[in-house]
Amino acid sequence: MPVKNRFAELLPEITEWRRDLHENPEILFETHRTSALVADKLKEFGCDEVVTGLGRTGVVGIIKGKTDTNGRTIGLRADMDALPIHEETGVPYASKTPGAMHACGHDGHTAMLLGAAKYLAETRNFDGTVAVIFQPAEEGGGGGKEMVDDGIMDRFKIDEVYGMHNWPGRPVGSFSIRPGAFFAAADQFDIYLTGRGGHAAKPQDTVDTTVMGAHVVLALQSIASRNADPVKQVVVSVTSFTTGSNAHNVIPETVHLKGTVRTMDPDIQDMAEKRLTEIAEGTAAMMGGVAKVDYRRGYPVMVNSEEQTDFAAEVARSVSGGCDDAPLVMGGEDFAFMLNARPGAYILVGNGDTANVHHPKYNFNDEAIPAGCSWWAEIVERRLPAA
C-alpha cells in the first residue's frame, strides 16, 4: 500500500494547518493556542473523546474503530512546541513571534498527526482504539515525562506507542529506523569557578579563573578520549563560557561554564558525571581556586523495542518502498519517557535537502506530509486489522 490517495487530497488542507502553526510558534509548555487548535480540530473530526490539560498543555484524542474485539489501544505521538530562535527563512508564513520559531519541524509533526486523525476518524477501518497524543515541551522541558506522569498510558489503556521525526538530508518521504538505543541520554551541567580577581597588569596577585576555565574546558575532552571505552559513545560539550567581568583590564573573580553530556550507555553516563566533577574540582584546586559543579540528568536514552521497530519498518516499506537503517543520534528526545512506559518505536521521515533542524533557516517540507500521514494510518490499520 503506497501513500494513501486520501492524504494527497488532504495535502492542501494539512499544509494550511502546518503553516498556521509555523506562523504562530509557542515555546515549551506555553502551547496554549496550539493546544486549543489541536483540540478543536479533533472535536471537529468527530473523535470519541478529547482530553486537554495533560502534561500541563498536552492533548489526547480517542478514536474508536468500527469494532473492538481485542481491547487494544495504539498511541501515536507528535510534539507541538517551537524553539527560542529568531527565524530567517523569509517565507510568507514566517513566525509572527519575535525570538520564536518552529526550527525543528514540530509544526509538521502536529499537522501530520492531525491529518492521520482526520482520516482515522472518517474511516475507522480498524479493530480497537487509537490515542493521538499531542505533547508540549519536547525541546528541553520534558513534556513527555509530564504526560506519562499524568497517567496517560493507564488512563487510555495504551498498549504500544509510536513517534516520528522529520530528518533533513534524507529524500523527502523516505524512512529510516533502528532497534534498541537510538537517541542519546542528554544531561546538562553548570560549573562555577571562583578564584581571586584583580588587575590584568598584576596576574601574580590573582588566581586567574579565565585560565582555570580554559584548562577545565580542554581537560573535559579527556572523558571521551581517555576515560570512555572507544566503542561506546559519549559527547561532552562546553557551550557557554562567561566571566565575571567584561573589562579589558580585569582578571575576573568568577567564571561560569555550561554544557551537555550525551551518552548511549548508563555506565558511561555514570562515569562521565563522576569524571566531569573530578576534573573540574581537581583542575580548580590545582590552580588555587574552587569549582562547584551542578550536574543534572536529563532525557534518558531513547530505546526502540525490537518487535515494534520491525513492524514500523515494514509499514514504512509499504508506504515508501524502503526503510533504511538509521544511525545512532547523539541528540536527546523525550519520547524516551513514553518508550520506557510502553513498547513502541520512533522513526525518521525524510525532509529533503533543507537546512538542518535548530537552524534559523530550517523549514519543514510540506511534501513529506502524505508519507508521514500514511505511515501513521497504516500503523493503526495493520496493527489493529479490521475484524
Burial of 169 by CB count in 10 Å (0-12 exposed, 13-18 middle, 19+ buried)? Answer: exposed
Whether 127 contacts 67, CB under 8 Å: yes
CATH number at residue 273: 3.30.70.360
My answer on whether 246 and 315 are in the same domain is no
**pLDDT tens across 351-377, in order?**
999 999 999 999 999 999 999 999 999
Average pLDDT of the residues of the chain:
97
Point out the domain boundary residue: 255, 279, 299. 299
Question: Which one from 81, 107, 127, 208 is the annotated catalytic residue?
Answer: 81
Q: Is 358 annotated as a binding residue?
A: yes
**pLDDT tens across 48-80, in order?**
999 999 999 999 999 999 999 999 999 999 999
Alpha helices in the chain (DSSP H): 5-23, 32-45, 106-123, 143-149, 152-155, 209-220, 222, 266-286, 306-320, 335-341, 369-383
Whether 333 contacts 348, CB under 8 Å: no
Predicted confidence at residue 89, as pLDDT, reads: 97
Point out the domain boundary residue: 277, 299, 321. 299
My answer on whether 332 and 233 are in the same domain is no
* Nearest residue to 301 (alpha-carbon basis) of 342, 259, 260, 329: 329
Phi, psi of 156 (to 5 degrees): -100, 10
My answer on whether 166 and 210 are in the same domain is no
Cross-sheet strand order for the sheet of 185-194: 234-243, 254-263, 185-194, 290-299
The reply to whether 81 belongs to the active site is: yes
SS3 232: coil
Whether 318 contacts 1, CB under 8 Å: yes
* 104-114 average pLDDT score: 98
SS3 343: coil
Q: Which amino acid appears at position 80 of this protein?
A: M
Predicted confidence at residue 66, as pLDDT, reads: 97
My answer on whether 72 and 165 are in the same domain is yes
Angle subtended by helix axes 5-23 and 106-123, to nearest 10: 140
User: To the nearest 5 percent, what fractions of the chain are helix, strand and coil?
Assistant: 35, 30, 35
Give the C-alpha separation, 12 to 306, whole Å: 36
My answer on whether 220 and 230 are in the same domain is yes
CATH number at residue 170: 3.40.630.10
My answer on whether 30 and 165 are in the same domain is yes
* 278-282 average pLDDT score: 98
Point out the domain boundary residue: 269, 299, 329. 299
Q: Is 23 annotated as a binding residue?
A: no
Burial of 204 by CB count in 10 Å (0-12 exposed, 13-18 middle, 19+ buried)? Answer: exposed
Question: Which one from 23, 87, 138, 333 is the annotated catalytic residue?
Answer: 138
Range of the domain at 223: 192-299
- Half-sphere exposure (CA, 13 Å, Cβ side) for 57? 21
My answer on whether 178 and 198 are in the same domain is no
Whether 110 contacts 134, CB under 8 Å: yes
pLDDT at 1 over 80: no
Give the C-alpha separation, 246 to 252, whole Å: 8
My answer on whether 222 and 283 are in the same domain is yes
Predicted TM-score (pTM) of the model is: 0.93
My answer on whether 107 and 226 are in the same domain is no
pLDDT at 3 over 80: no
* 146-173 average pLDDT score: 98
Predicted confidence at residue 134, as pLDDT, reads: 98
**pLDDT tens across 12-51, in order?**
999 999 999 999 999 999 999 999 999 999 999 999 999 9
Residue 9 cell numbers, joined: 487530497
DSSP states along 136-189: --TTTT-HHHHHHHTTHHHHTT--EEEEEEEETTSPTT-EEE-SEEEE-EEEEE
**pLDDT tens across 254-265, in order?**
999 999 999 999
| pLDDT band for position 160 (cuts 50, 70, 90) | very high
Predicted confidence at residue 387, as pLDDT, reads: 83
My answer on whether 21 and 158 are in the same domain is yes
Phi, psi of 34 (to 5 degrees): -60, -45
- Pairing, β 344-350 against β 160-167: parallel
**pLDDT tens across 326-336, in order?**
999 999 999 99
Give the C-alpha separation, 201 to 332, whole Å: 45
**pLDDT tens across 290-330, in order?**
999 999 999 999 999 999 999 999 999 999 999 999 999 99
Return the DSSP state at 368: G
My answer on whether 116 and 237 are in the same domain is no
* 186-196 average pLDDT score: 97
pLDDT at 4 over 90: no
Burial readout 1-23 (b: 16 or more C-beta within 10 A, e: otherwise): eebbebbeebbeebbebbbebbb
My answer on whether 179 and 206 are in the same domain is no
Whether 335 contacts 346, CB under 8 Å: yes
pLDDT at 283 over 60: yes
For residue 129, the surrounding DSSP H or E stretch is strand 129-135
| pLDDT band for position 226 (cuts 50, 70, 90) | very high
Give the C-alpha separation, 335 to 331, whole Å: 12
* 113-126 average pLDDT score: 98
Domain count, the chain: 2
Return the DSSP state at 204: G
Whether 272 contacts 234, CB under 8 Å: yes
Alpha helices in 199-242 (DSSP H): 209-220, 222
Give the C-alpha separation, 219 to 217, whole Å: 6
The reply to whether 353 belongs to the active site is: no
Residue 211 cell numbers, joined: 585560565
Neighbouring-strand partners of residue 293? 191
